[in-house]
Amino acid sequence: MRPSQYSALLCITFSVLLLTTPASVVARGTVDEPVIPLLTETDKGSADNPDELDPEAATGRGDHALVQSTHDMVSAANTLASQAGARMLADGGSAVDAIIAMQFVLNLVEPQSSGLGGGGFVVNFDAETAQVQAWDGRETAPAAARADRFLKEGEALSFRDAVNNGRAVGVPGLLRMLHDLHSQHGILPWAELAAPAIKLAESGFPVSDRLHQLLADSSALRDQPEAAAYFYDPSGDPWPVGHVLTNPEFAQTLRLIAEQGPKPFYEGELATAMVAAVAEHPKPGDLSHADLAGYQASQRDPLCMPYRTYQVCGMPPPSSGTLAVLQMLGILSHTPIDSLEPNELMSVHYFAEAGRLAYADRNRYVADPDFVDVPLEELLDAQYLQDRAGLIRDDESMGKARAGEPDGANARPGTDGTAEQPSTTHMVATDVMGNVVSMTSTIESAFGSKIFVNGYLLNNELTDFSLTGTDEQGRPVSNRVEAGKRPRSSMAPMIVLQDGRPVVALGSPGGPAIINYVAKTLLGVLDWGMDIQKAIDLPHRGSHNSATTYLEKGTSLAKLQDDLEDLGHEVELKDFPSGLHGLVMTPDGIQGGADPRREGRAVGH
């Protein structure tokens, strides 16, 4: 899986560019204007106060071995979920059946990350037609939503004031998407897919180390009476590790959904309870019965690009994740990164610089394509990416990158500084028939809006929109709040093909860092010849297009700090609680990997 002679030619070409291009040159496709970076986590709250920051924090690291199988494989962020998916496959189910069963279980055992109250994206390879499909179950803004939703007297609310309340709740899309997906690609009866989660909800499951620690960190969850009654003991302490937690209300919710499909969720008693919970919050929102009844999941054309001998495919907008990952790969193909060791200085330097360029474009151009014309073809044009790569220097970091101006991009929208919170999950599955599914789902920040109803939490996804609606120059940003609109995301469920057949499926949670997580792991497999577990294990690195380059704390990358600073990088060491899960299909069988930074496993037959 090493690069071809063509790659070597690209590297030579890039070296010539570096030697002949003056440092001051502005390549084609660059907008010369101030750059507004993504909000960092400390812009959203104090990094010293996890409850203010409200992320899904790091909770330690395990040691996972590569899993190999012959017929099928699943990988998810909790072992109980992986076991449920593997059971569906053993019973003759499809990869889609396995994904749905795993998601129902994750709603129960990993409630901080995803669930029925949120949304998600699926990239699916259908073995029968040999086609890649993209499914959009992203939440939408209620019909009453306006651009000033998070403004007070003309100023944006702080993220803390915007996030944990009813106004942050979008129309949940996950269940509708899963049911639509099952109608096309399911084999087992819909009701059977809920059986493992119903059993766990009724008989109970042990509170994990990770769930316990996240509960301990969240005072905001304690402030919601319904959530506090479920997640904490009568003294207000989080349930201890190993405590057997039951959720009979969620079991009843799943029984309704198993028997009747999505109808009670979008039009019946479950919908009524959600509307009431949002309206009765001390800071109420405007989610309505009409919003829920009118929600539709979308099937979109997948976003694909050739890379070396592969075709790399993923979710198009409203996700920015695949676009940014593809841009990074395209830019890096004009550097010698494939011939370097993954953790050496110049490898990290090139990766961070490519990320700066991709994030700059992401912040300017990407939003819901039903509202905004996103110039995808132009942003992935080979010449445009080569021009962008020409901005990377060997001897100095560019700091904050300018957004490009590709041919055909007529609009000059404002630059959006919104960043998602990293409370999300990812899972993958492949079945004996060769179908492959990669799904990322989310409720936004840890425990979402903290509104607990029908046995699950509601999202706070609307804070993925720009809180101001304009940039510092007063220009409207593409990702502003509008009624019925889907907020921009960085989720990047991806499938890589070679000769028309899937060879890699992967994705991760992590807010805006998802882009770097997925790009790094793809490089590990496609360029550096690693198995999927070793690629997932690689220390995280990269930039979100601020002056800062991030290195994963407690890893071998820390030794590069001084040398990177000599190149002009402002370096910060930090925890990166990714949740990468991936599969690699080889002629000899299937490899499965799970992120040691969470508590999941790959399981196969």
Q: Which of 303, 305, 274 is nearest to 290 (CA)?
A: 274
Q: Among 322, 415, 424, 549, which one carries the catalytic annotation?
A: 424
**Angle ∠(170,225,212) on CA atoms, nearest 5:** 85
Spatial contact of 505 and 564, defined as CB atoms under 8 Å apart: no
d(CA 343, CA 401): 23
253 counts as catalytic:
no
Which residues, at least 6 apart from 265, have a Cβ–Cβ distance to it below 8 Å? 116, 172, 175, 256, 257, 271, 292
CB atoms within 10 A of CB 341: 9
Residue 147 burial (C-beta neighbours within 10 Å; 0-12, 13-18, 19+): middle
Each residue of 385-405: b (16+ CB within 10 Å) or e?
bbbbbbbbeeeebbbbbbbbb
Q: Which of 80, 122, 194 is nearest to 435 (CA)?
A: 122
Helix axes 195-203, 248-260, angle to 10 degrees: 160
Tokens coding 275: 């509307």
Bond prior to 318 in cis (omega within 30° of 0): yes
Spatial contact of 512 and 343, defined as CB atoms under 8 Å apart: no
Q: Which single residue is written with the structure tokens 């330097």?
A: 349
Spatial contact of 143 and 290, defined as CB atoms under 8 Å apart: yes
Note the helical H segments in 489-592.
Answer: 514-526, 532-537, 561-566
Spatial contact of 289 and 269, defined as CB atoms under 8 Å apart: no
Q: How many CA atoms, within 13 angstroms, populate the side-chain half-sphere of residue 321?
A: 35
Tokens coding 181: 């997906």
Residues marked active site are found at: 424
